[in-house]
Amino acid sequence: MTAYQLDIANSPAQTAFTPAWTSTKVLSNAIVADRVSMEFRSGTEKFQVLKEIDLAVQSGDMQLLMGPSGSGKTTLLSILAGMLTPTEGSVHLLGQEITRLSRSQLARFRRDHIGFIFQGFNLFPALTALENIEVALNVKGIRKSAAKHQAQTLLEEVGLADKANQLPKDLSGGQKQRVAIARALAGNPQLIMADEPTASLDSKSGHTVIELLRQLAKDRDRTVLIVTHDPRIIDVADRVVYLEDGRITEPQSSLETYSCHR
């Protein structure tokens, strides 16, 4: 049993909601989507965006989700992060079926276990780099001098100690993205999910961001799932899954076909 399973097994949410039966697939993977479908409705029109998605991400892996624009990548990532509820199917994260949690339990689970990096940074424009991270720590119950100290350490880890007091408008795209990564790492979540983290970055900044995410997976045993169009990331990923027209284009059994070096 891995550390996160022990942690989860001891948490009240787990005792209350996970059945005694838990499949091997759920226990051996940090992220599991099981026959996930998503349908959006607009008036009488229905639009099926995801069709019976099966997907698994092993603990400690850096996995990519690629596919053409409009294929459903952001929708799937939002479902896997518990920000959207699928029309059908289930999602297990760290052994917990998040699709069965109440709204408040889900909010707590996300706060404790998921770091999310949004496309376009999503930083608070009126707060400095340091304050943007401090706020995320405050939300996780870490306050005052402890939050300041941890925010400083996180900024150092992404190589931005000297930019602590700068506002986002005075940072480059790559620096803003590194602040967003530091913020996603606040509270040390087990799962990191990122939507197009290198889009709009030049090649050097993109490389720094990719290297940071890779180190997280490999040196810190975090599980990292990245939506991307960026072919530069393929070389450093453990696996690549392709989404096309709302379906995974290859069955799970042939995922090894896409396995990259470890």
Ligand X SMILES: Nc1ncnc2c1ncn2[C@@H]1O[C@H](COP(=O)(O)OP(=O)(O)OP(=O)(O)O)[C@@H](O)[C@H]1O
- Sorted by sequence, the CB contacts under 8 Å of residue 3 that are 6+ apart come out as none
Contact 228, 198 (CB under 8 A): yes
Contact 237, 202 (CB under 8 A): no
Contact 96, 45 (CB under 8 A): no
Give the residue with the Cβ less far from Mg ion, 74 or 96: 74
- Cα gap 136→130, rounded to integer Å: 10
Helix (H) or strand (E) holding 17: helix 12-17
Give the residue with the Cβ less far from Mg ion, 96 or 228: 228
Residue 53 Cβ vs Mg ion, minimum distance, rounded to whole Å: 15
Contact 221, 215 (CB under 8 A): no
Residue 4 Cβ vs Mg ion, minimum distance, rounded to whole Å: 28
Give the residue with the Cβ less far from ligand X, 218 or 247: 247
Give the residue with the Cβ less far from Mg ion, 147 or 226: 226
Residue 234 Cβ vs ligand X, minimum distance, rounded to whole Å: 16
- Name which of Mg ion, ligand X, none residue 24 binds, using a CB cut-off of 5 to 8 Å depending on partner kind: none
3-state secondary structure of 184: helix
Contact set with Mg ion (CB under 5 A)? 74
- Cα gap 175→232, rounded to integer Å: 19
Residue 249 Cβ vs ligand X, minimum distance, rounded to whole Å: 13
Residue 74 Cβ vs Mg ion, minimum distance, rounded to whole Å: 3
- Sorted by sequence, the CB contacts under 8 Å of residue 204 that are 6+ apart come out as 174
The amino acid at 128: T
Vertex 107: Cα angle to 103 and 118 (nearest 5): 120
User: How many Cα neighbours within 13 Å face the side chain of 192?
Assistant: 32
- Name which of Mg ion, ligand X, none residue 113 binds, using a CB cut-off of 5 to 8 Å depending on partner kind: none
Give the residue with the Cβ less far from ligand X, 73 or 183: 73
Give the residue with the Cβ less far from Mg ion, 5 or 74: 74
The residue sitting closest to Mg ion, measured at its beta carbon, is 74
β-strand pairing of 88-93 with 29-42: antiparallel
Contact set with ligand X (CB under 6 A)? 40, 47, 49, 67, 69-75
- Cα gap 35→89, rounded to integer Å: 5
Give the residue with the Cβ less far from Mg ion, 114 or 151: 114
Residue 70 Cβ vs ligand X, minimum distance, rounded to whole Å: 4
- Name which of ligand X, Mg ion, none residue 70 binds, using a CB cut-off of 5 to 8 Å depending on partner kind: ligand X
Residue 47 Cβ vs ligand X, minimum distance, rounded to whole Å: 6
